[in-house]
Amino acid sequence: MATPLPVDTTTSKSAATHNADADTNYSNNQDLLQVIINDISSDLNVNTINPYPLKNENQEYLKFLSAFPEGKESVEHQLDIYVVDMFAFLSAKNKQKSAKLVKKIDYFKKKYSKKRLITKKDLQPKNSQLELKKNSPRVSNSSLESSETTDSSSSCGSEQSYEVSDTDISLLETMENIQYTLDFRIKKGKVNSLDISLMRRLCDALLLVMKHETGSFAKKKFASYAESAFYIFGSFIEEIAEFRQAVSEKDISELRISLLLDKRFNTESQKNAVAIMVRIVLFCLGEGYDWRDLIDPRKQATMQKYIEKRIEVFANDRKSLHIQERKVDLYPPPALYSDRNIAKLVAMFNVNVDSGITDNEEVNKRLEHYGANELPQQDKKSYFKIIFDQLSDFMVVLLLIAVIATAIAKEYNSSIVLAVVIILNTFIGVYEESKASKALDSLKSFVVNTAKVYRNGSISLIDSKNLVPGDIVEIEEGDSVPADLRLIECSRLSLVETILTGESIPVMKSVESIRTNTNRLALGDSFGNCFMGTLVSRGRGRGIVVRTGSSTEIGKISKAISNNQTSKKTPLQKRLHKLGMWLVIIAILLCAIVVIAGVAWGHKFAPMFLSGLALAVSVIPEGLVAVTTVTMALAVRRAAKKQAIVKRLVAVEVLGSVTCICSDKTGTLTEGQMGATEIVTSTLQSYSTQNSTDLNPDSGGILIGSKLGFSADIKSNTSSSTFLQKNNMSFSLLELIKICLLCNNSQIKFVDDKWKGFGDPTEFALLSLALKAKMSYESIKSKFTNPDGTTTTYPKKLHENPFDSERKLMTVVIDNKNADKNVDIYAKGAPEQILKICTHRIDDNGSLQKLKNSDIKIILHECEKMAKRGLRVLGLAAKSESMSNFETMMKEVPENDSENPNLKADDSFKNKKKESEIQEQIATYRIKWAEGDLAFVGLVGLTDPPRKGVKEAIKNCQSAGIKVIMITGDHLDTASAIAKQIGILQPNIPEMDRAITGPDLDLLSDETLASLKPFPSVFARVSPDHKLRIIKTLQKMGHISAMTGDGVNDAPAVRQADIGIAMGIGGTEITKDASDIVLLDDNFSTIIMAIEEGRRVFDNILKFILYLLSCNTAEIILFLMASVVNVELPMPTIMVLWANIIADVPPAMSVGLEPQEKNILKRSPRSPSAGVLNKSIDNPLSSLAISVQPDIDAIKKVDEYTHDNIPDDLILSTPGLTAKETETAYYEKNKIYHWRGDL
């Protein structure tokens, strides 16, 4: 073990003194910053050779320190996150290797070892009590694999294997982030000391990562992230003293094995890097070591001359040579930067928030570095490639072989028949695959063509593809976001992010930074970011572009779709492929037997070869492709009548094999529309609404429920099934409904023969509640004639304080033309915020009661209970103020802003900004006036309720052995509540009582996720890449998965799933294009009917496969018997084809029309690993083949008496008969009607 490296002697005396003083005398970061600034200021007169003026350099450094006052603490925080990511990758990589090894071992065990009895111990799952914790390590160190997981990954797992491309990309991003932290925070920030324990972990992680290689054995090379780790390792040695100490503590052999310098000794630049690495590592290790200790002895001779020559150069130049050259232009890697404040963002992107990027050359550099802001173009398959892929299908290849064989035998009619079957099948496949390529084209509709950008001190409209990270972009109501932004300024900004999260409720935005312990933040929680393609529903804002093009969220969706363009093999196709392989082997073997037997009997080779071909043709069920296609086409037609449009023909069969359905919540399991379902007034009287999501005012109404007083006991239960009338409502309920009506900016109109809501979904849900209570604006309005003769309509909105993410409140000032000349102030918002501004509560008779702390606790307890039922709870409050107070407040403005000399008539950006600041201060003043001393009125619970019939449909799925999983971007509590209502989560059943969030999912590797017992039934707060990962994990576990979705965020998972299902009404075009099936009624229950149809198809396909193979087996037995006893083969090739196609196909098609079996949904799905032939089929196949044997003889005898062989005199002597009647008469005359009857 090497001796620890002493303290770095290259550190200047002033810096060392400063570090000591900082450690002993300053605990506050601001004090430490001031010391550093003083030290730098004292050094300004030092004469140093520098290409830049020293004064300017230190001014930049002071500016940098003001943006990052926390110093090395934030650097350590970031590096700690990256180290955790690296170890997570290493753990996942090892588990993937282990899984592959275990899988191979299990395969050979099953194949070669003797079967043993399965005991109860074998059936007990391992690690069944595994629990997830938000603060747990990213990857658990405990073994999480179970035998069940390994054994189950047979069908789909064997086809797709354990891919690591996603992990590799993630690690490459991590290395880019570490490199940027090194260049920007450490080098530029002049940080030369970090936590020693962190540096030891970083050293270990880098040494492990840099060893990774990719490629085949003959073409192995280091992975790109391994190369990055190598150079980062050297740079940290050069920059950080504690890292040098961590390296000095390593054993020399460990360093030699990890660095692999001999394998990196290729190009001139690599040779130079190796030589520098040797020098700096030996410097860490101290005396007693030589360069040979770091290099494989077998490679030292080839490297000696170069290494020793470079060491001589290094002896004369110890400072200017570095393993990585210092970068002049430092560009941050694409990321959301939700945890960075505005000052840090400005420093990182080197941009002025007021003027934007001022150098056009800098724009071009960034455009070259990051690429254009456009979605990646899809490499479309040529029609030639699509046709080739269709023709390379194994069953089609068998048919092609049959075509060639029949052509060689000069049976041209047979060849034509087979060729027609191939052409028809190929045409269907090409048509389906050409339609599938439209998915990426649909994404282009979300790309904005232009963007408002601040450049060179002014705002301009540019092509959005020319946006670069660092640009300052302005957005306002109605705009689509042109790139991923980190907000630096916003005013009541809210965006609709449905395309990414699937949730229709607008998200309020804020400029506040969000500090987390991970780089991954749920999209729904990224309140400081705006995402490309989302729509601004209200407010305005400015942001720094942080991600463009393929790095954006919608760009990642585009890449996920384009990376999954390969056609999916269905379970039946896989089984038929395996069956075809066996049939080919059997055909070749039987052909060889016939030829050998014939030659052994003295026959010539050529005719025996043709006989062997005839036998080979008899093995292949030529009609199978045609019958399968026709049967599935008929099933598609039946599914269409049940509101399911099947776009991919084979998809209908996949439905019958589905073992797991992953469903989006909003719009699929729920109605997709908010409704006010529960009410609790200020007296704690509860009410419920019927048909809350139906916007028709005449549909439904308000029902009275139980009452809980402000004491601990329940006073009464006065629930009723009769809708309350307006004259029977209490004062508090009437006031609550009035707030829902007037504190509202939405509208409900009867358009296109149905009621539609316009505005915020939450607001028109509240408006619908008021309309169902028979309170509308028309019913309460009154007109008043003014002294000047004009007419004013009341109630009249005088002022509004819009909802924002900080206050979580909305207030309006309404003039109801009361006799006391007061104005009414109504407020709605988050219950906890409403209670903060309330001092009283309204009684049922309209009097005000003091709001006590005990009252607040009871109200908050009711809020908690409502939230647990999956409700989104809003609080409502009101008060009255005199009109004179309101008019006085509106005339007043904040101090020193009434006359501002900086505001001029010109339209400059600075004046606009100053005016905006003044308006913000005025708004704050008016908010404080309105939002205080209010009276609490009540609570309203809103929800998106489950669809009718969904609960029964899920129950049918579960009885059919199909697991249903909810995947949603909504909050965990809301998702869990809905899942419990419809039966997806069942607390009494351990296997169906686990729900996790997207951030929790990030803590797990794919293998750990797959080994969870039980597997989660609900995934909440997920992003599009989470959905894709869940589907891939299920496929690796051996499931045949279906994924339902409607939004853009669902498209990658819908495309990846074995069967993708899109919503026809609420679904986006991209999801429809990516799917295999479209539900016309957006109803989950339709999926169950489609699964029922799929199982029927699969059953019928198996039946006619049994039928066709039994006929072919009979032919094989007949041919083999003829060959063995040395008699002429009973049928030529054309007759074999006639029997296989013409005689067998029509009856087989009739089998495909058979009705479904009883209780088809009561049985478990067929195992994905099961083949076409098994014991349940082999036995009837053998008996059928033997029973069909006499029929083959009959076919031969009938052939001898075809119409062509009937005597001409018989035909001439019966002129009144048709050819068919003549043929029948001849059969009867020759006593062969018995055999015809058998046929």
DSSP codes, 141-195? SS----HHHHHHTTHHHHHH----HHHHHHHHHHHHHHHHIIIIIIITTT-----
Q: Are 228 and 177 in contact (CB under 8 A)?
A: no
What is the average pLDDT score of the chain?
Answer: 76
Structure tokens at 1184: 């059928």
**Cis status, amide bond into 946, omega within 30 of 0:** no
> How many Å apart are CA 1137 and CA 402, to the nearest integer?
9
Taking alpha carbons only, the member of 336, 328, 335, 337 closest to residue 74 is 337
Strand bridging mode 963-967 / 1018-1020: parallel
pLDDT tens-place string over residues 1202-1227: 334 444 444 444 445 454 455 555 44
Please state the domain extents for the chain.
Answer: 6-55, 342-377+446-562, 650-670+945-1092, 675-896+909-943, 1201-1239
Per-residue model confidence (pLDDT) at position 153: 33
Per-residue model confidence (pLDDT) at position 841: 94
**Strand stretches in 376-513, DSSP E:** 450-455, 458-463, 472-476, 484-496, 507-508
Per-residue model confidence (pLDDT) at position 1200: 41
**Strand stretches in 1046-1088, DSSP E:** 1059-1063, 1077-1079
Per-residue model confidence (pLDDT) at position 41: 37
Fold held by 650-670+945-1092: Rossmann fold (3.40.50)
pLDDT band at 1081 (very low <50, low <70, confident <90, very high): confident
pLDDT band at 1142 (very low <50, low <70, confident <90, very high): low
Structure tokens at 817: 């033309």
Residue with tokens 């997920």: 1022
- Among 419-423, 479-483, 779-783, 998-1002, the range with the most confident prediction by mean pLDDT is 479-483
pLDDT band at 118 (very low <50, low <70, confident <90, very high): very low
Q: Are 983 and 1084 in contact (CB under 8 A)?
A: no
Coil/strand/helix, residue 284: helix
Q: Are 472 and 453 in contact (CB under 8 A)?
A: yes
Average pLDDT of 146-174? 45
Please state which of the ranges 40-44, 109-113, 589-593 shows the lowest mean pLDDT: 40-44
pLDDT band at 487 (very low <50, low <70, confident <90, very high): very high
Per-residue model confidence (pLDDT) at position 232: 93
Per-residue model confidence (pLDDT) at position 161: 33
Please state which of the ranges 72-81, 722-731, 1148-1157, 1187-1196 shows the lowest mean pLDDT: 1187-1196
Per-residue model confidence (pLDDT) at position 157: 33
pLDDT tens-place string over residues 588-610: 787 788 788 878 887 787 777 77
pLDDT band at 105 (very low <50, low <70, confident <90, very high): low
> How many Å apart are CA 904 and CA 1030, to the nearest integer?
58
pLDDT tens-place string over residues 205-230: 999 999 888 876 667 888 888 999 99
Fold held by 342-377+446-562: 2.70.150
pLDDT tens-place string over residues 231-277: 999 999 989 999 999 999 998 989 999 999 988 888 888 888 888 89
Structure tokens at 428: 């269907």
pTM for the whole thing?
0.69
Per-residue model confidence (pLDDT) at position 1: 39
Residue 370 has pLDDT above 80, yes or no: yes
Per-residue model confidence (pLDDT) at position 139: 33
**Could you say which of 85, 664, 760, 1006 is catalytic?**
664
Residue 664 annotated in active site: yes
> How many Å apart are CA 1153 and CA 1143, to the nearest integer?
18
Q: How far from the centroid of its chain's Cα atoms is residue 864's Cα? A: 31
Residue 862 has pLDDT above 70, yes or no: yes
- Report which of residues 496 and 821 the model is more confident about: 496
Per-residue model confidence (pLDDT) at position 714: 36
Coil/strand/helix, residue 811: strand
pLDDT tens-place string over residues 647-694: 877 787 788 889 999 998 887 888 888 899 999 999 989 999 988 888
- Report which of residues 615 and 20 the model is more confident about: 615
Please state which of the ranges 277-281, 308-312, 428-432, 558-562 shows the lowest mean pLDDT: 428-432
pLDDT tens-place string over residues 797-806: 999 988 877 7
Average pLDDT of 487-500? 86
Neighbouring C-alpha atoms within 13 Å toward the C-beta of 1109: 21
Angle between helices 1084-1124 and 1175-1200 (to 10 degrees): 60
Residue 921 has pLDDT above 50, yes or no: yes
Pick the CATH number of 675-896+909-943 from 3.30.460.80, 3.40.1110.10, 3.90.190.20, 3.40.1480.10: 3.40.1110.10
> How many Å apart are CA 569 and CA 654, to the nearest integer?
10
Sign of the CA dihedral with 663 first, then 639, 426, and 1098 last:
positive
Residue 814 has pLDDT above 90, yes or no: yes
